[in-house]
Homo-oligomer: A and B are copies of this chain.
């Protein structure tokens, strides 16, 4: 899991853009209009998102339709999946770890 993807999503305006594109692809102007962000900033944010592989462009007439790409989200999902196995283990492992945490010469009768 690279931090680049998460960093791209970790900016309020960009997250809004992604949430908008979640519903349907949109051209730059309409994204700007719907979110109340000026067009240049939208272009910049889309640039970041594109470099991070989060979105892709499809030119249609004189506009550029931006849409989400599935890969980065699948990657995040896979990453999260590698956690899931551990949550149950974690619940008691925490106490286990707390107890066994390098208290070699110590006896717990405190």
Contact = CB atoms under 8 A, between A and B. Distances in A.
Contact of A80 (B12, B27, B76): B76
Interface in A60-110: 60-61, 63, 65, 67-68, 70, 73, 76-77, 80, 82-83, 86-87, 90, 93-94, 97-98, 101, 103
Number of copies: 2
Size range of the chain A interface in the assembly: 35 or more
Nearest to A93: B24
B6 A15 contact: yes
Interface of A: 1, 3-12, 14-15, 19, 22-25, 27, 58, 60-61, 63, 65, 67-68, 70, 73, 76-77, 80, 82-83, 86-87, 90, 93-94, 97-98, 101, 103
